[in-house]
Structure 1
Amino acid sequence: MVVSCEYFDVKKTSTEAILKEELQTFNWSEVDEYPSFSQCDSVEFKQERKDCFQQVLVQHISGFLQNEDVFVYQDINDTVVLSFQVSETGKLQLLQTKIDSSTLVSIPEIKKLLHKSLDSLPKIFPAIKRGQQVKTEFTLPIIINVN
């Protein structure tokens, strides 16, 4: 008769090994919930909530720009690409603006107007990843059409 105690050996797994394994399976480019405005609270699905957030942001910026008196000498039809960051506390920061040079010549104060439009945004709720509020970055196109 042969007896072995190998079956009774307990392999210890360190917390570092568990953490390393968890981090390898972690998708860093996705969040569980996107940043949101209170208007989007009733939206249930993740993608629709993201769309709602972007739509509210675009409508707010576009509405602000439409209320400004901007005088131009030629028609402008341009798409401005804005890069944003929403902090863990819900603070929105404009990181970068991609604006065609002809639009900058026609509306030299466009960057200042874009920054000013963000000052009156409603409260933003930050993105959530695994129950924690996280920082997110995204880009958003805004169509500028002045006749």
Structure 2
Amino acid sequence: MSCDYFEKKKVKTEDIVTQELETIDWNAVDEYPSFSVCDSVSEKLARKYCFETTVLNHVNNYLSKQSIVVSEDVEDTISIKLAIDKLGNISVLDIKTKPETREIIPEIDTLLRGSISSLPKIFAAIKRRQHVNTEFVLPVIVSIK
């Protein structure tokens, strides 16, 4: 499972003065968002990878435990736009999926939101010793045959 699909996004704010503290360029952050399972990882990119794989594995495990019944095959890469605030709270901003997937699995949005809300505690990203808000896109491959 590759985590190279994460897109780099910047949080938008109206106030230019506070933008520097409240938004994040994923390349310039001092510490990526993290989970306690990543505490033993000290190298920055390895820690980012640990965070990304933890999120992906959690979502995949959550979905695999659901009893999704489909009448036809589903093959889709769903993009979930997520935000993590400076307190470590995660929220779903947007879910992009093919219309056919929504038709075949009408509960897909609810299932994905459930998987995100059940994530373990997240430690917010840090820039210049300040916790900062972050946004990113999580690609979730749904393949049911």
TM-score, normalising length from structure 2?
Answer: 0.80
User: Where does structure 1 differ by over 3 angstroms across 4 or more consecutive aligned residues?
Assistant: none
Once residues 107 and 76 of structure 1 are traced to their aligned partners in structure 2, the CA distance between those partners, rounded to angstroms, is: 9
Q: Partner of 1:39 in structure 2? A: 37
What SS does the aligned partner of 2:91 have? strand
Which structure has the highest helix share of the two?
1
How many corresponding residue pairs? 123
Structure 2: runs of 5+ lacking an equivalent: 1-16
What is the SS of the residue equivalent to 1:43? coil
CA contact (8 A) 2:38 2:51 kept: yes
Aligned to 2:50: 52
| Match in the other structure for 2:109 | 111
Q: Which has the larger radius of gyration?
A: 1
Residues in 2 aligned to 1:115 and 1:67: alpha-carbon distance in whole angstroms = 15
C-alpha distance in structure 2 between counterparts of 1:32 and 1:144, whole Å: 33
TM-score by length of 1: 0.79
Question: Of 121, 129, 132, which aligns to 1:131?
Answer: 129
Report the Cα offset of residue 120 of structure 1. 1.7
Where does the alignment leave 5 or more consecutive residues of structure 1 unmatched?
1-19
* Identity fraction in percent: 42
2:30 is paired with a residue whose SS is coil
Secondary structure of residue in 2 paired with 1:82:
strand
Alignment of 1:79-118 (within 5 A): 79-118=77-116
CA deviation string 1:84-106 (max 9, x = no partner): 10000000001111101111111
Q: Which moved more, 1:43-52 or 1:124-133?
A: 43-52
Following TM superposition, by how much is the alpha carbon of 1:28 offset from its aligned partner in structure 2, in angstroms? 5.2
Deviations 1:75-124 (A, max 9, x none): 11110111110000000001111101111111000001111112221110
* Maintained 8 Å contact 2:88/2:124: yes
2-side partners of 1:81 and 1:118: how far apart?
A: 13
Counterpart of 2:106, as a letter, is: P
Deviation digits for residues 53-78 of structure 1, max 9, x if unmatched?
A: 11000111111111000110111111
Alpha-carbon RMSD: 1.6
